[in-house]
Chain A
Amino acid sequence: MTIRITAEEMTQRSRDIVHDRKHIEGPMLPILHALQAEFGYVPDIAKQVIADELNLSRAEVHGVITFYPDFRDHPGGRHVLKICRAEACQSMGSDDLADRARRLLGVDFHQTTPDDAVTLEPVYCLGLCACAPAAMLDGEVYGRVDEHCLSDIVGRLNR
């Protein structure tokens, strides 16, 4: 079930989050992580809040958010599956793995299953090149992911 909150509530909660962190050195990234942890994404209205509180322009905040693919501008699924697409993994068959993941979930990269359960995303290197191909589910990494392993991971998801 999705809990909807009003724009005012979201602005207020964003403001509280920014307020608590604005005095640490280099506050922008901790703020963005906290916002994403709170809402599942960085809401558009938070850009103006961050800009106001940190005395930056809206453009600068937008530039930082869009630089990092991990910050989303809309909610993702309850789980996030990332398939590594970097060189080492590609050489060990991650293209096939990616195709398999697409078929299993019925979505393309950057898309979420219709039941909001899983978002599929590419990632460029998880630092697991020795165990390529690699994937990551909700922050937990998996090495030498073959088709069985992938089915296993997807099958275990709480859909």
Chain B
Amino acid sequence: MSLIHEIDYGTPASRSENQVTLTVDGRSVTVPEGTSIMRASMEAGIQIPKLCATDMVDAFGSCRLCLVEVEGRNGTPSSCTTPVAPNMVVHTQTNRLKDIRRGVMELYISDHPLDCLTCAANGDCELQNMAGAVGLRDVRYGYEGDNHVRSRNNGEMNARWMPKDESNPYFTYDPSKCIVCSRCVRACEEVQGTFALTIEGRGFESRVSPGAHEHFMESECVSCGACVQACPTATLTEKSVIAIGQPEHSAVTTCAYCGVGCSFKAEMRGEELVRMVPWKDGQANRGHSCVKGRFAYGYASHKDRILNPMIREKISDPWREVNWEEAFSHVATEFRRIQYQYGRDAIGGITSSRCTNEETFLVQKLVRAGFGNNNVDTCARVCHSPTGYGLGQAFGTSAGTQNFDSIEQSDVVIVIGANPTDGHPVFGSRLKKRLRQGAKLIVIDPRRIDLVRTPHVEAAYHLPLKPGTNVAVMTALAHVIVTEGLFAEAFIRERCDWSEFEDWASFVSEQANSPEVTESFTGVPADLLRGAARLFATGGNGAIYYGLGVTEHSQGSTTVMAIANLAMVTGNIGRPGVGVNPLRGQNNVQGSCDMGSFPHELPGYRHISDDATRETFEKLWGVTLNNEPGLRIPNMLDAAVEGTFKGIYIQGEDILQSDPDTKHVSAGLAAMECVVVHDLFLNETANYAHVFLPGSTFLEKDGTFTNAERRINRVRKVMSPKNGYADWEVTQKLAQAMRLNWNYAHPSEIMDEIAATTPSFALVSYDYLEKMGSVQWPCNEAHPEGSPIMHVDGFVRGKGKFIRTEYVATDERTGPRFPLLLTTGRILSQYNVGAQTRRTENVTWHSEDRLEIHPHDAEQRGIKDGDWIKLASRSGDTTLRALITDRVSPGVVYTTFHHPGTQANVITTDFSDWATNCPEYKVTAVQVSPSNGPTEWQEDYNDLSRRSRRIAGKMEAAE
């Protein structure tokens, strides 16, 4: 194993189709038109010295090190800013160039510290490398003059010197080492799109400045790490590198946070992770990252992590540490006892969207083949189950239609019920880049998310709808497109069922669906909505991106169908730049759905009642499968309360915190006799568990994750599991304890079984992934290289299906007692229920959940910014602090759910999507009133948490 070194070509690739041939140092090289001389040389294997150029950002031409001579041209042009020309003859090394380069290096080094041996970048410093490359042997200017290097000059304060900025928890900024190459500034602008950095002053006074000469933490910086990656010196350095030293080997793996599925190099020293660096060949992220994937991996070695299995008889007992054998045999005995006593269907399992495809596959296999029922479900139930249902109905397949690269060709983008710059930051950056190039944006969201207006990006339309009225707004958009004759008739006639279209068109054309009528209850002004509809229908390639603000509603599935209708009626399906794109929340939520995690579906979205599919698995597994769908999560909890469901195996999910109506979840769990939680931490669900099986992190196992664009990415083990076993091994050993004959030696064997049984994965294997890097399913004989874009020559189901989308108001209504509507979301630095990110330095950015409330509503209630308030709904109440902002409209309040102390889901109701039971998290009628402390529920709950986390023989750990 060695460190993976990526080639830096110096300038971005050209997309031109015209090829140009030139000669560099006697070698002939052919490159696309528009390529720089620097990049062309690198392609020919000739590395021209450079400092300010890197291929993640456009050429700048400031360092004057990359000069070359071109026959027939005067002077010494910089190779980064000079494009190639046909038959050009370039010399990269002449006496004249050598002298110039050495002279430039002398100037750089005369204002740079000479502490290379103790410098954090030692071994990874481009300045050092370039000094070597140009043969610098002497600095004639000396080091005594004016400089930025020393805090004192000749005993006097040096006003030019600036102290190190260590405010960011993950990296430092040391201005004394800065060579002002602007790479960080350009990375922040071009790659991340935050514009948090600038060069202040000019000439010798030039320095990199975060914000207006602020500390990094006070500036606009979002800590994505692009600047650190771009820095050629130790000026911007990861604190982990300063603490540990340079890594010595690395492996490419996949981030375990959101559904973007960024590829990273995990850079290691021994079994210690030194840093995570985004991989340029990663096809989802193209070398970019966010604060979570780049830096927030500290949870993997956090002291709260449980490393030994534990058992207890009653949930009021303290935990007792046991060995693995005892834990497995205890669970096996208990599960069999429960089945004997209460019936085969009295137990079930929940798969995890955080675990690998292989692990998920095993859990559903354990339930179907081992438990002998179909009581398996997954957390996608509470997020994207409506996507699966809605897109399955309309197009015939339950997944997004595009790859992330597609955004580079979009002209009009609708973002509805999603907040990409916080929830899917790397996609957010790629979207912003496209918007800066001129694409138009329509935001449909009750809250003014950052994308509505952020430096250099401004939405053409923001439709601030009332929570719960998505269907009405989407149907009204279709009304405008149909009644104004803006629909793509040729596309519809060719690709969709025309009579279904006519039926649907007559429905949307009804006066009741016009924006003028819907305005009264959606709150979206009719003229705005008409403008947005016209823009989307006529603005070129139209793409729709959506998130949980679409699905987590009582009409979640209907909205997904309305989105599909909108894409079809405008002809925006089946080519790059268009499509319907669900932004999946978790790293492997797509994969967990693909792997047959739902009670009614076997892997590959095939219904359990389909005899042929069942037969495939029955033959391989040697069992008879139940042909009736099993219980969904809410049904399992209902059955538990009724006394017919008694045991559950929960892998990597915290249903108590993430599922709706917390009190109902806790009542269900409390009624069970054997709750097995398999997780990294004693999460909130574990408060009700009888057995705790310690889990492993994504760094400790091999496997695959499937991201939001259906891309199957490899996860590679870089360290041994601290708990002893990878999660797939734990499930396998549990199955073995239940007398199942499983003998997988490596996750690749599980993938082979998936490929053998599931047509859309037919060609997928670890060898193939090694060769291809990653593939997007379907990947089979028909699509051997995978499918970046779906429905290219026709819909998977045949003809695209237009479905009527009648708006039905949710039963959750505001009234005199609960006059405000609560909607929920997330924030950049935290992830989901926060089990991981709360155990990293990311808490520096977001240490508590706050309730966003409009100044008007706050004033009416006598609430000031930062006050403790009580948030009450028909289900329950909680307290948190207020944040007064006009990001939300009057009548709407908003909070995040990252901290267990808040228990935002105590508030949410048990209303859910009509088709899939996906809970209605995004609409709850609430009242807000001043408060002076935690509610009774919060106090009771904290008390329970403390008691249920006791481990016999160990000191009580402080959270």
CA distance A93 to B769 in the complex (A): 74
Q: Give chain B nearest CB distance to A59 CB in angstroms.
A: 4
CA distance A60 to B454 in the complex (A): 13
Chain-A contact segment, one of B16-24, B208-216, B487-495: B208-216
- Within B192-219, which residues are at the interface with A (CB < 8 Å)? 194-202, 209-213, 219
Does B45 reach chain A (CB closer than 8 Å)? no
Measured between beta carbons, the chain A residues less than 8 angstroms from B201 are 66-67
Query: Out of B212, B454, B456, which one reaches A59, CB within 8 Å?
Result: B212
Check A59–B210 contact: CB distance below 8 A. Answer: yes
Does B455 reach chain A (CB closer than 8 Å)? yes
CA distance A57 to B185 in the complex (A): 12
Measured between beta carbons, the chain B residues less than 8 angstroms from A44 are 212
Q: Which residue of A lies closest to B219 (CB)?
A: A59
Q: Give chain B nearest CB distance to A56 CB in angstroms.
A: 5
Check B213–A56 contact: CB distance below 8 A. Answer: no
Do most interface residues of chain A lie in helix, strand or loop, or is the interface mixed?
helix
Measured between beta carbons, the chain A residues less than 8 angstroms from B210 are 59
CA distance A66 to B198 in the complex (A): 10
Q: Which residue of B lies closest to A57 (CB)?
A: B195
Check B212–A62 contact: CB distance below 8 A. Answer: yes
The 8 A CB mask of A74-116 against B (1 = contact, 0 = none) is: 0000000000000000000000000000000000000000000
Known interface pairs A55-B453, A55-B456, A56-B456. Does A47 touch B195 (Cβ–Cβ under 8 Å)?
no
Q: Which residue of B lies closest to A62 (CB)?
A: B212
Measured between beta carbons, the chain B residues less than 8 angstroms from A62 are 198, 200, 209, 211-213
Check B202–A67 contact: CB distance below 8 A. Answer: yes
Known interface pairs A47-B212, A51-B455. Does A60 touch B202 (Cβ–Cβ under 8 Å)?
no
Known interface pairs A66-B201, A67-B201. Does A59 touch B211 (Cβ–Cβ under 8 Å)?
yes
Check B212–A61 contact: CB distance below 8 A. Answer: yes
Known interface pairs A57-B196, A58-B220. Does A63 touch B455 (Cβ–Cβ under 8 Å)?
no
CA distance A72 to B210 in the complex (A): 20
Q: Give chain B nearest CB distance to A133 CB in angstroms.
A: 22
Measured between beta carbons, the chain A residues less than 8 angstroms from B200 are 62-63, 66-67
Measured between beta carbons, the chain B residues less than 8 angstroms from A67 are 200-202
Does B126 reach chain A (CB closer than 8 Å)? no
Check A59–B453 contact: CB distance below 8 A. Answer: no
Measured between beta carbons, the chain B residues less than 8 angstroms from A56 are 195, 455-456
Q: Which residue of B lies closest to A48 (CB)?
A: B212
Does B638 reach chain A (CB closer than 8 Å)? no
Does B458 reach chain A (CB closer than 8 Å)? yes
Measured between beta carbons, the chain B residues less than 8 angstroms from A47 are 212
- Within B490-517, which residues are at the interface with A (CB < 8 Å)? none
Measured between beta carbons, the chain A residues less than 8 angstroms from B455 are 51, 55-57, 60
Q: Give chain B nearest CB distance to A85 CB in angstroms.
A: 13
Check B198–A63 contact: CB distance below 8 A. Answer: yes
Measured between beta carbons, the chain B residues less than 8 angstroms from A63 are 198-200, 209
Measured between beta carbons, the chain B residues less than 8 angstroms from A59 are 195-198, 209-212, 219-220
CA distance A67 to B199 in the complex (A): 8
Check A60–B195 contact: CB distance below 8 A. Answer: yes
Measured between beta carbons, the chain A residues less than 8 angstroms from B196 are 57, 59
Measured between beta carbons, the chain B residues less than 8 angstroms from A58 are 211-212, 219-220
CA distance A51 to B196 in the complex (A): 12
- Within B157-201, which residues are at the interface with A (CB < 8 Å)? 194-201
- Within B601-623, which residues are at the interface with A (CB < 8 Å)? none
Q: Which residue of A lies closest to B200 (CB)?
A: A66
Measured between beta carbons, the chain A residues less than 8 angstroms from B220 are 57-59
Interface centre among A51, A57, A59, A63 (most CB of B within 10 A): A59
Q: Give chain A nearest CB distance to B135 CB in angstroms.
A: 33
Q: Give chain A nearest CB distance to B443 CB in angstroms.
A: 15
Q: Give chain B nearest CB distance to A63 CB in angstroms.
A: 3
CA distance A44 to B211 in the complex (A): 12
Measured between beta carbons, the chain B residues less than 8 angstroms from A61 are 212
- Within A28-69, which residues are at the interface with B (CB < 8 Å)? 44, 47, 51, 55-63, 66-67
CA distance A60 to B220 in the complex (A): 11
Measured between beta carbons, the chain A residues less than 8 angstroms from B453 are 55
Known interface pairs A44-B212, A55-B453. Does A60 touch B198 (Cβ–Cβ under 8 Å)?
yes
CA distance A55 to B197 in the complex (A): 15
Q: Give chain A nearest CB distance to B221 CB in angstroms.
A: 9
Q: Give chain A nearest CB distance to B109 CB in angstroms.
A: 26
The 8 A CB mask of A108-143 against B (1 = contact, 0 = none) is: 000000000000000000000000000000000000
The 8 A CB mask of B798-830 against A (1 = contact, 0 = none) is: 000000000000000000000000000000000
Q: Which residue of B lies closest to A61 (CB)?
A: B212
Q: Give chain B nearest CB distance to A111 CB in angstroms.
A: 14
CA distance A61 to B213 in the complex (A): 11
Measured between beta carbons, the chain A residues less than 8 angstroms from B197 are 59
The 8 A CB mask of B434-462 against A (1 = contact, 0 = none) is: 00000000000000000001111110000
Check B458–A55 contact: CB distance below 8 A. Answer: yes
Measured between beta carbons, the chain B residues less than 8 angstroms from A55 are 453-458
Q: Give chain A nearest CB distance to B539 CB in angstroms.
A: 21
Q: Which residue of B lies closest to A63 (CB)?
A: B198
The 8 A CB mask of B324-338 against A (1 = contact, 0 = none) is: 000000000000000
CA distance A156 to B622 in the complex (A): 106
Interface centre among A44, A56, A58, A62 (most CB of B within 10 A): A58
Q: Give chain A nearest CB distance to B199 CB in angstroms.
A: 6
- Within B450-493, which residues are at the interface with A (CB < 8 Å)? 453-458
Check A57–B199 contact: CB distance below 8 A. Answer: no
CA distance A58 to B220 in the complex (A): 8
Measured between beta carbons, the chain A residues less than 8 angstroms from B199 are 63
Q: Give chain B nearest CB distance to A36 CB in angstroms.
A: 16
Q: Give chain B nearest CB distance to A58 CB in angstroms.
A: 5
CA distance A54 to B112 in the complex (A): 37
CA distance A66 to B194 in the complex (A): 20
Interface centre among B199, B212, B220 (most CB of A within 10 A): B212
CA distance A45 to B414 in the complex (A): 35
CA distance A57 to B209 in the complex (A): 12
CA distance A44 to B218 in the complex (A): 15
CA distance A125 to B198 in the complex (A): 27
Measured between beta carbons, the chain A residues less than 8 angstroms from B219 are 58-59
Measured between beta carbons, the chain B residues less than 8 angstroms from A60 are 195, 198, 455
Q: Give chain B nearest CB distance to A79 CB in angstroms.
A: 25
Q: Give chain A nearest CB distance to B209 CB in angstroms.
A: 6
CA distance A61 to B209 in the complex (A): 11
CA distance A157 to B448 in the complex (A): 55
Measured between beta carbons, the chain A residues less than 8 angstroms from B454 are 55
Q: Give chain A nearest CB distance to B441 CB in angstroms.
A: 13
CA distance A44 to B220 in the complex (A): 16
Q: Give chain A nearest CB distance to B607 CB in angstroms.
A: 50
Q: Give chain A nearest CB distance to B462 CB in angstroms.
A: 14
Q: Give chain B nearest CB distance to A88 CB in angstroms.
A: 19
Q: Give chain B nearest CB distance to A50 CB in angstroms.
A: 11
Measured between beta carbons, the chain B residues less than 8 angstroms from A51 are 455
Measured between beta carbons, the chain A residues less than 8 angstroms from B202 are 66-67
Check A57–B213 contact: CB distance below 8 A. Answer: no
Q: Which residue of A lies closest to B221 (CB)?
A: A59
The 8 A CB mask of B83-101 against A (1 = contact, 0 = none) is: 0000000000000000000
Q: Which residue of B lies closest to A124 (CB)?
A: B203
Q: Give chain B nearest CB distance to A106 CB in angstroms.
A: 21
Measured between beta carbons, the chain A residues less than 8 angstroms from B456 are 55-56
A-B contact pairs, 17 of them (CB 8 A): A55-B454, A55-B458, A56-B195, A56-B456, A57-B196, A57-B198, A57-B220, A58-B211, A58-B212, A60-B195, A60-B198, A61-B212, A62-B200, A62-B211, A63-B199, A66-B200, A66-B213
> What are the 4 tightest A-B residue pairs by CB atom distance, in nearest-first order?
A63-B198, A57-B195, A62-B212, A59-B198
Besides A58-B220, A59-B197, A60-B455, 16 more A-B contacts (Cβ < 8 Å) are A51-B455, A55-B454, A55-B456, A55-B457, A56-B456, A57-B196, A58-B211, A59-B195, A59-B210, A60-B195, A60-B198, A62-B211, A63-B198, A63-B209, A66-B200, A66-B213
B residues neighboring A (CB under 8 Å): 194-202, 209-213, 219-220, 453-458
